[in-house]
């Protein structure tokens, strides 16, 4: 009998993954990861009890334990708090200091869930490792999940082919609705549990309040590129992302303003009027730290520049071994430095990289 170690998060997806594997005849072991110590950073606004509501890992662990007990499988627990800080959270802060919008989930998968976790699973005797990700592996290649709305291959794009060896994605052929129904039919406590959203280590508090614990606020001017006027003051460039409309707090503005750029040297936040303004759209981008899941390096393919975005037809120009220029003459809205650009051939995920900068007419924005 083959042994599978399943990453148990305390959610419905990993619960059903474990159930399916047990029904398929595997010896299943659950492994719960603790990646963040929610007590280490008290709220700067003086609420001493706020940490009780951030990253409720104990509740997640209790839910995972309940599911494992019902399925009659062992549950182990492992602590990766230091490693998460070193490999994921430090990266997160460094990217924010550069004025970029990082995606810590991608780095968590690369360095924690599909590296340290797999090593711990092998130590426990695993023949295979499984997670509750919505993705599929076919003949060693990574494909989108059946449920395109929940597909998570975007977050797996920095993995190596070696990391995906001996990995199982049991729910990749199911829809989220089917997963919940299956959990309910088997009386799993997580069947109706709300899925996690946002960044786990920030939890319920506001993003700006959380960052005050780690990065100093440097207010500066907000410049409207449509009118060339200074119209307000921003609360630190790290608190804004390209394409953002809400939270600008610019008084007297009746029409919609969108963040379109940042000038780190002069500490200026640039905005422009309307979601069709020219400053919000680019026709090329430089992608660095490109990771390929196989040997296929296309000249043309589909690219996804953020998680909730439809794939776009692009042409690739190879600059160095891990840097690419991506061309899209149809123009794409809010291509954001720090986010991932992930490449696809239909449903196959070919790999991806990190957006360094967006270009207009193949050049940097003139206001930067």
CATH number for 47:
3.40.50.620
Structure confidence by residue, pLDDT tens digits, 322-345: 999 999 999 999 999 999 999 999
> What domain count does the chain have?
3
In the residue annotation, 108 being an active-site residue is answered as yes
Indicate whether 240 belongs to any domain. Answer: yes
Q: Can you tell me the mean pLDDT for 250-265?
A: 84
Q: Residue 358's closest CA among 333, 349, 343, 344? A: 333
* Pair (24, 86) in one structural domain: yes
- Of 289, 343, 295, nearest to 320 by C-alpha is 289
DSSP state, 205?
A: S
139 lies in the same domain as 258? no
Structure confidence by residue, pLDDT tens digits, 268-293: 999 999 888 999 999 999 999 999 99
Same domain for 295 and 238, yes or no, is no
Q: What is the mean pLDDT of the chain?
A: 91
69 with 145, same domain: the answer is yes
Do 266 and 285 belong to one domain? no
59 compared with 150, residue with greater pLDDT: 150
What dihedral do alpha carbons 193, 196, 200, 206 form, nearest 10°?
-110
First to last CA, the chain: 60
- Of 12, 31, 43, 16, which Cα lies nearest the Cα of 78? 31
Q: Domain check: are 240 and 299 in the same one?
A: no
Of the candidates 55, 68, 200, 341, the residue annotated as catalytic is 200
47 and 148 fall within a common domain? yes
Last residue of a domain, one of 229, 248, 273: 273
Distance CA 53, CA 353 (A): 34
Largest pairwise CA distance in the chain: 70
CA distance 137 to 223: 47
Q: Is residue 211 part of a domain?
A: no
Catalytic member of 108, 301, 341, 349: 108
Q: Is the pLDDT of residue 253 over 70?
A: no
CB-based burial, 270-292: b 16+ in 10 Å, e otherwise: bbbbeeebebbbbbbbbbbebbb
Predicted local distance difference test score (pLDDT) of residue 51: 43
Segment 30-52, tens digit of pLDDT: 999 999 876 665 444 444 444 44
Residues 13 and 113 placed together within one structural domain of the fold:
yes
Task: Please tell me the distance from the alpha carbon of residue 197 to that of residue 366, in angstroms, as a whole number.
Answer: 36
Residue 241 domain boundaries: 216-273
Main-chain dihedrals φ then ψ at residue 252, nearest 5 degrees: 80, 5
3-state secondary structure of 59: helix
- CATH number of residue 299's parent domain: 2.40.30.10
Residues 52, 160: one domain?
yes
pLDDT value at 232 more than 60: yes
Q: Tell me what pLDDT residue 47 has.
A: 45
Which range, of 36-45, 65-74, 86-95, 233-242, averages the lowest pLDDT? 36-45
Q: Report d(CA 154, CA 156) in Å as an integer.
A: 6
> Which helix (H) or strand (E) element contains residue 123?
helix 117-123
Q: Is the pLDDT of residue 151 over 60?
A: yes
Residue 45: what pLDDT? 43
Predicted TM-score (pTM) of the model is: 0.92
User: Is there a domain that residue 207 lies in?
Assistant: no
Q: Shortest CA distance to 193 belongs to which of 56, 335, 340?
A: 56
User: Where is 16: in which H helix or E strand?
Assistant: helix 12-23
pLDDT-derived band at 359 (thresholds 50, 70, 90) equals very high
Residue 300 in any domain: the answer is yes
The CB density around residue 79, as the number of other CB atoms within 10 Å, is 12
Is position 68 annotated as part of the catalytic site? no
């Amino acid at each position: 009998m083959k042994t599978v170690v399943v990453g148990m998060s305390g959610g419905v997806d990993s619960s059903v993954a474990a159930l399916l594997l047990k029904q398929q005849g595997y010896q299943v072991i659950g492994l719960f990861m603790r990646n963040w110590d929610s007590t280490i950073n008290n709220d700067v606004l003086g609420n001493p009890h706020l940490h009780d509501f951030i990253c409720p890992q104990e509740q997640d662990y209790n839910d995972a334990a309940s599911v494992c007990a019902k399925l009659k499988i062992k549950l182990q627990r492992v602590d990766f708090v230091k490693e998460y800080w070193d490999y994921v959270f430090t990266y997160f802060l460094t990217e924010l200091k550069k004025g970029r919008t990082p995606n810590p989930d991608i780095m968590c998968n690369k360095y924690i869930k599909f590296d340290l976790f797999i090593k711990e699973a092998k130590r426990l005797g695993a023949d295979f490792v499984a997670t509750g990700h919505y993705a599929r592996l076919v003949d060693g290649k990574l494909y989108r999940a059946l449920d395109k709305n929940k597909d998570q291959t975007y977050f797996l794009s920095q993995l190596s082919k070696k990391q995906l060896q001996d990995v199982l994605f049991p729910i990749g052929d199911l829809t989220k609705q089917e997963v919940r129904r299956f959990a309910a039919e088997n009386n799993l406590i997580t069947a109706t549990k709300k899925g996690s959203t946002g960044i786990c280590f920030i939890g319920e508090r506001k993003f700006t309040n959380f960052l005050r614990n780690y990065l100093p606020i440097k207010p500066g001017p907000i410049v409207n590129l449509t009118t060339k006027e200074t119209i307000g003051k921003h609360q630190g460039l790290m608190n804004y992302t390209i394409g953002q409309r809400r939270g600008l707090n610019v008084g007297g503005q009746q029409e919609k303003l969108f963040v379109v750029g940042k000038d780190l040297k002069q500490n200026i936040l640039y905005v422009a009027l309307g979601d069709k303004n020219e400053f919000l759209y680019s026709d090329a981008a430089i992608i660095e730290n490109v990771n390929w899941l196989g040997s296929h390096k296309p000249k043309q393919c589909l690219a996804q520049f953020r998680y909730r975005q439809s794939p776009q037809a692009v042409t690739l120009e190879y600059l160095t071994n891990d840097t690419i220029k991506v061309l899209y003459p149809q123009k794409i809205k809010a291509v954001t430095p720090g986010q991932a650009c992930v490449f696809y051939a239909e449903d196959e995920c070919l790999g991806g990289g990190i957006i360094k900068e967006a270009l207009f007419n193949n050049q940097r924005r003139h206001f930067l």
